[in-house]
Amino acid sequence: MLWWIVSALLALWILTYPVADVIFHHAQWGAFHANEDQRQVALTFDDGPAEDTVAILTELHRLNIKATFFMVAERASEHPEWVTLVVSGGHEIGLHGYRHRSAYLNTPWGTMADIAQGVAKLRDLSGQPIQWYRPPWGHHNLWTWWACRRLRLKRVLWTVAPDDWRAAHSKEKISNHVVKAALPGGVVVLHDGGGDRTRTRLALPLIAAGLRRIGIEPVPMEALAFEASWLKTGWRWWETRFQVAWDLDPVPSQGSMVPIFRLGKIRFRGSRLALSSVVLDHGDWFGELHFDNSELSRFSDDTRHVLKAYQAIRQSLVDLASFVGQSEKYQDVLAFGGVTVLNAGKAIERLGFVRVPVVGWRRLSMRLYLIWLMAMYHRQGWRSIKRYRHLSPVLLVIDRQTLIQRYPSDGTSPTRVPS
């Protein structure tokens, strides 16, 4: 009998804590996710208010950035003057718990009380309605979800976490991580409390400049619009991690246009390829191009948009030539390119690319992958598959010298190629 009681209690604990945490924290089920319609990411701060909050607020004001501060209500009640500074600076306040305590260490009634008391305390101190909740460390139990439903709080976690709290992370490491991982509609988590946050403050100018260079504006949570599609939300979760894992660099735009390329450095995996000015061998350094899918989807409607896409790609190639010419990382790269199913005929040659068929198992896998992307991002959704089901993936390659010569960044027009 005792064994059954212990087993039942253990099963109940597993469902209430680890299983709930997997669902609501790691899978982020039911949490707020923003769409990609606007080129924005939310800048958020956890664990404050604290002494570094004041310096961070000063820096945000200088950079003309509004953010969301997820506050520990107990700390806020000890320093209400810091709460006042946040509000007077035009920033938004969310709850990070009454106490900074893991949901694994809270009882069901303790969880309910912690969240309810935290909301009441921050509302009184700030004079703002509290609509956002991020649990400490993101930890959830079943009652975390229930309390948020009862109090009509929007649970929000993050898509970009540069771990600015680690002493080994410099301001450059923090900012590089944010800029590489940022996608429209993302949520960046930084910290203004819980320790020395000098590195976080020093990283803010680099973060702001890097994001704005790729056409993304940091904003508070309230500026983001909700994304209803779980398919897109899940895919963006994967894309964010893919970009960091493969060290992809966003290619900044020199003009007002939003950049549409991200660039990675890999070893060329194909057979020997003779290009205009170089022979590319298997194992040579290769710049792998990736499209910003959310931005490219804006050009997926009709012929007029296709022409706009062509013009946008031409301008992005100017940006790419400038970027690789200045970046030390890509100095030994011999050629650049990527795989696509959009076989644009003579337009490819006009842009300076060589078309290389994709063969073997990669042909099928890349075709499925690229059609999946088009179905998600094309304006017609899954109906677009009928238009492209006959197309096969091709590798488009342009050598370094051709890229730089045809797309100068000195203000002159890109070199035209006779049709």
pTM: 0.88
The phi and psi torsions of 197 (rounded to 5 degrees) equal -115, 30
* pLDDT of 369 over the 80 cut: no
Decide if 382 contacts 375 (C-beta within 8 A). yes
Predicted confidence at residue 134, as pLDDT, reads: 98
Helix H or strand E segment including 9: helix 2-14
User: Residue 99's pLDDT is what?
Assistant: 97
Whether the CB-CB separation of 263 and 248 falls below 8 Å is answered with yes
CA distance 223 to 259: 22
In order of 8, 93, 375, 379, 381, the CA distances from 227 in angstroms are 38, 22, 17, 15, 15
Share of residues in the chain with pLDDT > 90 (%): 63
Among this protein's residues, is 46 annotated catalytic?
yes
Mean pLDDT of the chain: 88
SS3 40: strand
C-beta separation of 145 from 30 below 8 A: yes
**Where does 20-232 sit in CATH, by number?**
3.20.20.370
Task: Please tell me the predicted confidence (pLDDT) of residue 384.
Answer: 59
Radius of gyration of the chain (CA): 25
Query: What's the pLDDT at 294?
Result: 65
Task: Report whether pLDDT(342) > 70.
Answer: no
Instruction: Express each pLDDT in 45-59 by its tens digit.
Output: 999 999 999 999 999
**Res. 307: pLDDT tops 90:** no
pLDDT score for 321: 94
Nearest to 333 by CA among 290, 389, 287: 287
Q: What is the pLDDT of residues 202-245, one digit of tens each?
A: 999 999 999 999 889 999 999 999 988 887 888 888 888 888 88
Domain boundaries, the chain: 20-232, 246-406
Q: Exposed e or buried b for every residue in 83-106, given b needs 16+ CB within 10 A?
A: bebbbeeebbbbbbbbbbbbbeeb
Structure confidence at residue 418 (pLDDT): 36
In the prediction, which pLDDT does 367 show?
72
- Give 189-204 pLDDT, tens digit per residue: 999 999 999 999 999 9
> pLDDT tens digit string along 93-111?
999 999 999 999 999 999 9
Tell me what pLDDT residue 380 has: 61
Length in residues, the chain: 419
Catalytic residue among 46, 52, 164, 192: 46
**pLDDT score of 330 more than 60:** yes
d(CA 35, CA 369): 22
Q: What confidence tier does 66 reach under pLDDT thresholds 50, 70, 90?
A: very high
Q: What is the mean pLDDT of residues 307-315?
A: 77
DSSP 15: I
49 preceded by a cis bond (ω within 30 of 0): yes
What's the confidence (pLDDT) of residue 383? 60
33, 91, 191, 290: which is the annotated catalytic residue? 191
| pLDDT at res. 293 | 66
Q: 45 has which bridge partners?
A: 69, 190
For residue 416, what pLDDT is reported?
Answer: 47
Count of C-beta atoms within a 10 Å radius of residue 400: 22
When pLDDT is cut at 50, 70 and 90, the band that residue 188 belongs to is very high
